[in-house]
Structure 1
Amino acid sequence: MRGIWGLVAVVLALCVGCSTVDGTAVPPSASNHPALVKPVEVRRVVETAPDIKLRDNAGEEYTLGPVEMRLEQFTRAYIQFSPEGGGYMINLELPGDLAAKFGELTTANVDKRLAMIVDNTVVFAPTVTSPIVGGKVQIQQNYTQQQAKDLLDAIGGER
């Protein structure tokens, strides 16, 4: 488990890992996508006026702002071998309503860090390098298959 959370340091360099996929998202029916057992909170990582401080499993402490949004379901969440080779990546697809809100949030926070939190533990805290619209997020860090699976399990598992 310690090795998995050591990856969080790698995720912090996610500048090239978040990408935008062009296209129009078709809002799916909420009943088609089961809710996550524990929602994923999205918060800005802040330097001043802290709302709350949380740690990741590697012990790094983050000063976080208020909850910006809660991801309570994913249309899809899966790992796949990176087309660029070298390892596995995590893919998250958000339903229409969450995709639109996430697009607005990432547009307003380019060059800032957003943390994804489950059960009061920071799972990811990447820097947003460009707006992520369309609801498709790819986290490309050349993970081993097991590392990618463990991180995906931390945010609710494959769907």
Structure 2
Amino acid sequence: MSRDWERLARAIEAARNAMGLTQVALAAAAGVSESSIQNLESGAARKRTPPTLAKVEEALGWAAGTSNTILAGDEAPVRDTSALEEAAAGTLPLRIVQALSDGPLLDTKILDLEDDSGARMIVVVKGKQGATPEQIQRALEAWERTEAQLRSGGDTKQ
């Protein structure tokens, strides 16, 4: 059975563009190298499925195994929007729903609050829509500084 790597490349690129992500931003969201994204979007035939593909599927909001479906010639996926639909149904404020839908996802962090309540803080770091690789890099560096301040209790004298 032949696998259509060019079709998968087009589907990944289309999904990435629909999300407003650059290759750099998708790579960051998936935790893979930019060259991995470039290789997947090249459409070059492969004998084996790259191990990075599962991470890219997840970053694109695809169900696990969607790439194999596309490679086999079946329908291209529709992005999983269940989290946004749930948010829009009232479990999150609309301003948060809007903020989550704008720009590329750069990082997330769950921080346990230092008390006996068991409460946690959830941080979602979003980039600017259409950001350049340099802007994304600066945003990630700013987030690293901010995260360090959060972990130190807000003390900026490190």
- Which category of TM-score, normalised to the shorter sequence, fits these structures? under 0.3
Give the structure with the larger helix fraction: 2
TM-score normalized by the length of structure 2: 0.24
Rg larger in 1 or in 2? 2
TM-score normalized by the length of structure 1: 0.24
